[in-house]
Amino acid sequence: MTKRIYIFDTTLRDGEQTPGVSLNISEKLEIAKQLKILGVDIIEAGFPFASKGDFNSVKSIAQNVKGPVIVALARATKEDIEAAWKAVKYAENPRIHVFIATSDIHMRNNLKMKPKVVLETAYNMVKYAKDLCTSVEFSPEDATRTRPDFLYKVLEAVIDAGADVVNIPDTVGYSTPGEFGAFIKKIKENVPNIEKAILSVHCHNDLGLAVANSLAAIENGAQQVECSINGLGERAGNAALEEIVMTLKTRGDHFKCHTDIATEHIARTSNMVSHLTGVKVQSNKAIVGTNAFAQELSIHKEEVINYKETYEIMTSESIGLKKDSIILSKYSDRHDFEQRLKELGYDNMEISKINEAYGKFKALADKKNAISDEDIEALVNEEMFQVPQTFKLEYLQVTSGNSIISTSTVKVRTKQITIDEAACGDGPVDATFKAIEKATGISVNLKDYFLDAIGSGKDALGEVTVKIEKDNRVFSAKGISTDVVEASAKAFMNAINKMYYYINLIDN
C-alpha cells in the first residue's frame, strides 16, 4: 500500500491573488465544480472577510459543491473567523483556515506584535474557530523564515487548541528542496503532538522551486500539499497541482505515494482555468503546455511511434488529451459533434448551449476544412461562459491599410434599439474598440490585449483575450474567429457585456 497524499487546491484563493486575475461568483463556482470532477480532496474557496464578493463565492461553493472539504481563509481575529464560518458553514465538510505570521520580520513589521502575543493569539483563535467548525487548519505565515524553536512552540500550541491540520507555508518562496525537506523532518521530530494533526505544506514559486520543495516535503513526511491549477498564485505563483500529481503518479516507484486525482481531467481543468482567468499557459510548461507532449525531431517521432517509452514518460491520454482523435468537418452532423463533446469531457452541457455551439461549429466548418479538438474547446468555452448579451454586435466593417487611417463601422443591437457608429483609430483593432465604445456608450480602460492562434495553418482560428477595467474591477473575455479583427471585436464586446452584467445586475 502506498501512502495517500491529500490535494488541497487553492486556485480560487491564492490563485485568484494572481496579478490581473479577478473571477466572479459564477466563474468560481464553475471552477469549483470542475475541481470536484478532478477529484481534489480540499478546495480553498476564498477569504470571506476580504470582500462581499469573496464571501458570496465561498457561500455559493459551500452550498453547491458537495464532497470535497470546502475551506474559508481567516486571519487570526474573531471578525475574520466569524465571516469565514458564516460563509463556509453550508458545506458538507467545512474547514476554517486560520493564519498568522510567525517570522520575526513579519511580526515586527506587519503585525507589530511580540512573539508571546502571536503565540497566544494563534492558540486562542484556533480554539475559537474549533468551537464553530469541526475542522480547523492553522498556518504560521512565513514559516520558513521563522525561528525554528518558536515555530515548534506555535505548532504544539495550535494542535493543543484543536487544529486538525498544520500547514507550513514557504510564503516568499525562499527555501530550497534540501532545506525544506529537512525543515519538515525537524518539525516532525520537535513538535511533540505533531502526530495528532495532518502535516501540510504550501510553497510559493519565487525561485521556481515550489514543486520541488513540495515533493521534498512529501519525502519527509508531509501528508497534504497545497497547490493550484497551472501554478497560479501571488507573484510567481504556487506549486502547480498538475506537476505534483503527475510526478507522484509517474514516479510512484520513487515516492511510494498516491493521490486520488482523476488525472484524465487535468487538461480540461487547466484549459478552463486559463480561459476564465485569462492567464495563458506557457507552451513549454510541464504537463499542460501545448508542447508538453509534442515531438518535433523526426527521428524522435519515429521512435515514439515504434517504442513509446523511448521519449514518453507519461501518455497524453493520462491527462485527458485524446490522441489520434477524429477531426470533424462540414460533413460531420450533430450526433458526431455531441459525441466529440462527450469525449472531451463536456457531458453536462445544457441543450441550449449545445445548440448554440453546434451553430457556431457549422459556421466555422464552412470556413475551415478540419475542425480540431482545440477549435471545438474554444467554441464551447466561448458558449459555456457567456453572460447575457446585453449588447450584440450585428455588423462590423473595417477599412485599413498602410497609408490610410483605419476606420471601423459597427452596428450594435440592444433589446430596444440598434445603433450605428463609426470611429477612426490607430489600426483596425483600435478603431473597432472605439466604435464599440461609442455605440454602447461605455468607455473602459483596456488593460491587456493578446492574440493567439488555436492550432496551426493559414486557416487557424484567432483567439483574442482582452482585459478591461472599470471602477477598479477587471473583466477578462475572449473572442474567436478566423478573422482576427472580428475576434478582437467579439472579445471586447464579451468583456463589456460581462462588465455590464456584473456591475449592474448582480453587483457582487
Which residues, at least 6 apart from 406, have a Cβ–Cβ distance to it below 8 Å? 398, 399, 400, 424, 425, 426, 427, 428, 430, 431
Q: Which does 99 bind (CB under 5 to 8 A by kind): ligand KIV, Zn ion, none?
A: ligand KIV
| Cβ contacts of 324 within 8 Å, gap of 6 or more | none
Nearer to ligand KIV (CB atom), residue 13 or residue 467: 13
Residue 401's Cβ-count burial label (10 Å; 0-12, 13-18, 19+) is exposed
Q: Is 175 helix (H, G, I), strand (E, B) or coil?
A: coil
For ligand KIV, give the closer residue by CB, 210 or 461: 210
Residue with cell 481531467: 265
Q: Which is nearer to ligand KIV, 204 or 478 (CB)?
A: 204
Of 8 and 475, CB closest to ligand KIV:
8
**How many residues bind Zn ion, per CB under 5 A?**
1
Tell whether 265 is in a known binding site. no
Characterize the bridge pairing of strands 461-470 and 42-46: unpaired
141 binds, among ligand KIV, Zn ion, none (CB under 5 to 8 A by kind): ligand KIV
The gap between the terminal CA atoms of the chain, to the nearest Å, is 47
At closest approach, how far in Å is the CB of 233 from ligand KIV? 8
Q: Does 346 bind ligand KIV (CB under 6 A)?
A: no
Among 171, 274, 440, 481, binds ligand KIV (CB under 6 A): 171
Look-up of cell digits 521512435:
303
Confirm or reject binding of residue 14 to ligand KIV (CB under 6 A): yes
Task: Choose between 170 and 375: whose C-beta lies nearer to Zn ion.
Answer: 170
Among 5, 6, 13, 14, binds Zn ion (CB under 5 A): 14
For residue 386, the tally of other CB atoms under 10 A from its CB is: 15
The answer to whether 204 is annotated as binding is yes
Interacting positions 203-222 with ligand KIV (CB under 6 A): 204
The entry of ligand KIV, Zn ion, none near residue 462 (CB within 5 to 8 angstroms by kind) is none
DSSP string, 341-367: HHHTT--S--HHHHHHHHHHHHHHHHH
Given 169, 231, 345, 479, the residue binding ligand KIV (CB under 6 A)? 169
Given the C-alpha cell 483574442, which residue does it identify? 464
One-letter identity of residue 214: S
Q: Which is nearer to Zn ion, 168 or 393 (CB)?
A: 168
Asked whether position 139 contacts ligand KIV by CB under 6 A, the answer is yes
Residue 467 CA to residue 388 CA, distance in Å, equals 18
Alpha-carbon distance of 155 to 167, in angstroms, equals: 9
Give the interface with Zn ion as residue ranges (CB under 5 A): 14
Binding-site residues for Mn(2+): 14, 202, 204, 238
Give the interface with ligand KIV as residue ranges (CB under 6 A): 14, 99, 139, 141, 169, 171, 202, 204
